[in-house]
Amino acid sequence: MQKVLLIFTGGTIGMKIDPATGGAIPALSGEELLAHDPTLRDLADLEIFEFGQYPGPHMTPPRMWALSELLRRELRRPELAGAVVTHGTDTLEETAYLLDLRHTSNKPVAVVGAMRTITEPGFDGPANLSAAIRTVLAPRACGQGVFVVMNQVIHPASEATKTDSQQLETFQSPVFGPLGHVDVDRVIFGRRLLDRVVIDTPAMEERVDLIQMYAGADSRFIDFARQSGARGIVLEGTGRGNVPPAALAGIQNARDAGLPVVIASRCLHGRVLDTYAYEGSGHDLRLRGVLLAGTMNAAKARIRLMLALGKSTDETELRVLMEAGAY
């Protein structure tokens, strides 16, 4: 049997319904979860690492970084074929993307969660774990970085997005579609990434704020981010990456102060582009030195800017780090 490192960080996959409150709470260790379905140990020689029992919203950038460091260290061991990480689905895509941006090993990693707890009908944790283990053991998974594996579907960490608050098929790759799927005991890849981005940095800048644009948005939150010590700002703009004119003063103030500003789109599909040239448009923002996030959503753009700023604060290099492979 090949050896797979199984890292448990928490999330719904490790929760039970609390009779006192009627809500789900952290309850299961990795060992207890595997005991629920002993057949998982038939798939690989599983080595368990108990990282924590964190609900998705409790996962912080420092914890993501620590998880990344753990993986980078452990995957150097020649006996490990790959790793599977359990995670709460609310922030799973952010952690998976940070892990992927720092992943330099040829060995695959799959991040997995669940939408139902062990005390609910149709608990999806064991099936998701099985698919994730099978994925990292598949020869074609090597060299493709970090995956998100949910509901038997294999997504690249750079594209996977949670799209529904409760459905099992919540994770999608909205722009380009999934990489493949797991069909019983067979792992089938239909495509592979052509431009996977790696930012191999020894540090990250946590002070990056994300601000949503909307009809009538102005500069207040942008100015507050700058004045309170942000080192970078990501804007979730509309359409192709546009903002209301009233937000421009705050954006310009941030740029004049030397802060990198990135514009993403709140749209689920499509990319940011300087198609329009009116006041507050992507073209206007580009002339002000704002970076375009391409097809990255705002949450992923924030993770990428945090790592990019850990590597360099030079504007030219930041543009390359943020826009390379962003389509």
Assess whether 170 carries a catalytic annotation.
no
Q: Would you state the CATH architecture of domain 208-323?
A: 3-Layer(aba) Sandwich (3.40)
174 secondary structure, DSSP code: T
Interatomic CA distance for residues 251 and 226, integer angstroms = 10
Helix or strand run (H / E) with residue 232: strand 232-237
Average pLDDT over residues 97-126: 97
3-state helix, strand, coil in the chain (%, to 5): 35, 20, 45
The domain limits of the chain are: 3-189, 208-323
| Catalytic-labelled residue, pool 12, 86, 91, 161 | 12
> Distances from the Cα of 81 to the Cαs of 64, 143, 149, 288, in angstroms?
22, 12, 17, 47
Nearest to 80 by CA among 104, 107, 53: 107
The pLDDT of residue 220 is 98
The first and second tokens of residue 306, run together, are: 């945090």
> Distances from the Cα of 92 to the Cαs of 130, 185, 248, in angstroms?
18, 25, 32
Which residues in 170-186 are b (16+ Cβ under 10 Å) and which e? bbbbebeebbbbbeeee
User: Which amino acid, residue 12?
Assistant: T
The first and second tokens of residue 246, run together, are: 């009233």
- Angle (CA) 57 62 64, round 5°: 65
Q: What's this model's pTM, rounded to 2 decimal places?
A: 0.96
Nearest to 75 by CA among 41, 40, 108: 108
- Angle (CA) 177 179 180, round 5°: 110
Banded pLDDT at 324 (limits 50, 70, 90):
confident
The yes/no answer on whether domain 3-189 falls in CATH 2.40.50.100 is: no
Banded pLDDT at 322 (limits 50, 70, 90):
very high
Q: How many C-alpha atoms does 10 have within 13 Å on its Cβ side?
A: 20
Helix or strand run (H / E) with residue 95: helix 92-101
Banded pLDDT at 327 (limits 50, 70, 90):
low
Q: Is the pLDDT of residue 78 over 70?
A: yes
Give pLDDT tens digits for 278-307. 999 999 999 999 999 999 999 999 999 999
Average pLDDT over residues 228-244: 97
Average pLDDT over residues 210-226: 98
Interatomic CA distance for residues 74 and 320, integer angstroms = 30
